[in-house]
A and B are shown apart, each in its own frame.
Chain A
């Protein structure tokens, strides 16, 4: 896969570059900030751009840069890395796009397998969300959604968490060691209990429905 990378911390940037190369990816651009990355990308677009959120242009250069990238190259995948996993930024990220986009903690992409899995899912058009954050969203639904989420069985909660991470049916089945058929059944039950429509066939649309549902009691956003 062709990957570009922008991160202002030199140590982390170098480490990620080496891990990307070890994983067999072609790193076509490496920059310490968003503007520099855009200049480098002009001649060599890539499959996925990896962006630190908190980098130049300050304060959140990763977001600004992502918007510009989406404008110029709508098909380029975007992976945001941050030292913090916050729903505030998740919502900002989903405002930028709801496909081929991901948000993960910096220290959670520290293996060749996880890094490649994350990049591949994004390149395939999926949403990838840091599991810690997905878990918090499911465990702390806003306001009146609490009762409905509380009505889910333990197994259904496991499935909902994996859905909030952006996992496909196959991905959920693999994580829980059950058949995709069983996953479909759980999802139908979850959507019925939460009052959501199940006709969302594309998994990233479904992730969005779940996230919007969990966050819908927020005021002002």
Chain B
């Protein structure tokens, strides 16, 4: 994917009017979306580059070890230790990649990525989704807001429903401690999303606020 070229400086100046507020907001959203896509590209670059090279090195060392006479115990053991070290390097690369953009989020979407996250954090989170996809930005924003919330308190939220229609991702979290609303808002707003707290029914009018601990985030997606 190519970045858009910078606008040329010598374009005949249009009558100078301040860009309209919606245009400014739209430009901001576009930049934000590009940032998320950039993160996803970085993860792929790690996977296809450094990680693959290190894995191939493990194989080459294995071949080398195989060619060392069996009587050379020390040398064989030393090669095994190098292979273990490379495994540790790869483990660290995986950790970093997961913080940039989780590969499972890229490949399989919010539902599977959130379930895997809950498993790793030993969180009792239940996730409902139908496998629909919403683009790197909206999915990334929701994933990282929930990851921060679960890291702070594995018990919040208890349940997350991922749904959406007409270019919009709708995430409903229940059993959430108050901090989650803020975390979601920070990630959703730059993308033009909204977050409502204490709303029980997604289809209810905005002023019917019931059910504390329920948070509904709506994020437009590409």
In which size bucket is the chain B interface? 35 or more
Q: Contacts A107-B54, A220-B128 hold; do A15 and B60 have CB atoms under 8 A apart?
A: yes
In angstroms, how far is the closest chain B Cβ from the Cβ of A130? Answer: 12
Is the beta-carbon distance between B104 and A88 smaller than 8 angstroms? Answer: yes
Closest Cβ neighbor of A106 among chain B residues: B55
Contact A110 B47 (CB under 8 A): no
> What residue in chain B is nearest A139 (Cβ atoms)?
B122
Residues of A within 8 A of B120 (CB): 136, 140
Q: Answer whether A219 and B56 are a contact pair too, CB < 8 Å, given A60-B107, A83-B94, A112-B62.
A: no
Q: Are A107 and B87 in contact (CB under 8 A)?
A: yes
Contacts of B122 in A (CB 8 A): 140
> Is there contact, CB below 8 Å, between A110 and B59?
yes
Also in contact, A22 and B87, with CB within 8 A (given A11-B52, A83-B47, A219-B127): no
B163 shortest CB reach to chain A, Å: 13
CB under 8 Å from chain A, chain B span 120-178: 120, 122, 124, 126-129
The answer to whether B94 touches A19 (Cβ under 8 A) is no
Q: B63 touching A19 by the CB < 8 A rule?
A: yes
Q: How large is the interface on A (under 10, 10 to 19, 20 to 34, 35 or more residues)?
A: 20 to 34
Please encode chain B, from 37 to 69, with 1 for each CB lying within 8 Å of some chain A CB and 0 for all others: 000000000011001111110111111011100
Among candidates B52, B62, B67, residue contacting A110 with C-beta atoms closer than 8 Å: B62
CB distance from B91 to the nearest CB of A (A): 9
Give A18 to B66 CA distance when docked, in angstroms.
11
- Point out the residues of chain B lying under 8 angstroms from A115, CB to CB: 62
Which among B27-35, B111-119, B198-206 touches the partner chain?
B111-119
Would B66 and A22 count as touching, CB distance under 8 A? yes
Mark B residues whose CB is within 8 Å of A. Answer: 47-48, 51-56, 58-63, 65-67, 80, 83, 86-87, 90, 94, 103-104, 106-108, 111-112, 115-116, 119-120, 122, 124, 126-129
Task: List the 6 closest A-B pairs by CB distance, nearest first.
Answer: A15-B59, A110-B58, A11-B56, A110-B62, A106-B55, A107-B58
17 additional contacts (CB under 8 A) given A22-B66, A83-B52:
A9-B52, A11-B52, A12-B52, A12-B55, A19-B59, A19-B66, A22-B63, A23-B66, A59-B107, A87-B119, A88-B116, A105-B90, A106-B58, A110-B62, A111-B66, A220-B127, A221-B115
